[in-house]
Every structure is written in structure tokens, then in C-alpha cells.
Amino acid sequence: MSHCCLERQQYGWPMSVLYVHLSPEGTPPSLEHSPFCAVIVTEADASEDWRERITEWLVQSGCLYAVTWGRDCEKWHDSVDAANLREFDYGDIPDDRFVMTTWHENEPLEEALWFAGQCAFHPTATLMNTIIVHVSAEPRAAAMLRSFRESQELPDDD
């Protein structure tokens, strides 16, 4: 598991982007970046039990928005929703703990990353942190962080 952090500015306030690599069935690290938007990028198969453990870890760690992309992204989306429901014993979820979710099937990764940076807002919290959770056999921190940064830039008008 590897970690890398990139600082950037958006809309006049500091925002951090953290990369977390998870090998399938690996143990996630503790997170201290609450509240945050998670971009779950899945490039490897994962068992249903492990997917549930990871989404529970995200919800319990302070994820308030989950953007899912890649292999089984709809299952990851549904697993985050289920983890949020289980967190409150399937009862009412307080507004400030409700996790917003989207899945981005059949879209380029850059569009999902753009969405996370530009559209993933929570009605009761400012999401100052974005965590790219990369589920893959091998880490690609520099490439993922570069893709995130480039997805946020406006194209040049030539």
C-alpha cells in the first residue's frame, strides 16, 4: 500500500488530494482527512466481503461523497450506500452523515475525476479533501494524481 499527497487550490480555498493504493483483499490505512470525497477507482476484482469492508471503512472514516469508476463500479456504489445504511442500523441517517454516491460506468476516468473535483458537493459539509482509492494490483500514484490535476484544468483556447 502506498500513499502520496498533492496540494492544489480550487475556488480560493486549499484542497488536498490524497492517493491510497489498495491491493485486492489488502488492509486499508487509517484516514484522518474527514470529511472527504472518495474516488474509488477499481482496476482489479474484489470479493463482495472485502468490498463491504472497504466501503464500511470509508463511511466510518468520514467519506461524505463517493464517486465510483472502473470494474464493478455500480456494485461499489451500492456497497457504499449499504454501508451508510448499516452505520445507522437502517434507520434515519442524519443529514451531516449522509453519503452522496455516483457511479461512472462507460465514462473515461478523466470525466469521473473531473466530476469529483467540480461537482461532488455535500449539502451540509465542505469537502476539502479528495481521496483517490485505487484498487489495483500495482500502485500508480503519480499517474493518478496527474490525471486528477489535468482533469480539473480548463483547455487552452487556441
Contacts of 154 (CB under 8 A, 6+ apart): none
Distances in Å between the Cα of 72 and the Cα atoms of 2, 120, 123 are 23, 20, 27
- Give me the pLDDT at residue 22, please: 95
- Give me the pLDDT at residue 15, please: 73
- Give me the pLDDT at residue 67, please: 98
**Stated pTM of the model:** 0.90
Domain presence at residue 157 = no
Domain presence at residue 143 = yes
Domain presence at residue 51 = yes
97 membership: H or E segment, kind and range: none
Domain count, the chain: 1
The answer to whether residues 20 and 33 touch, using CB atoms and an 8 Å cutoff, is no
Residues 6-56: pLDDT tens digits? 444 343 445 789 999 999 999 999 888 789 999 999 999 999 999 999 999
Q: Which three cell numbers stand for residue 135?
A: 484498487
- Give me the pLDDT at residue 153, please: 82
- Give me the pLDDT at residue 39, please: 98
Greater confidence (19 vs 157) lies with 19
Residues 59-113: pLDDT tens digits? 999 999 999 999 999 999 999 999 999 999 999 999 999 999 999 999 999 999 9
Helix segments in 15-102, DSSP class H: 48-61, 73-87
- Give me the pLDDT at residue 33, please: 79
**pLDDT category, 158, cuts 50, 70, 90?**
low
Domain presence at residue 158 = no
Name the residue range of residue 73's domain.
3-152
Supply the CATH number for residue 64's domain. 3.90.190
Q: Which three cell numbers stand for residue 139?
A: 500502485
Domain presence at residue 84 = yes
Domain presence at residue 80 = yes
Domain presence at residue 107 = yes
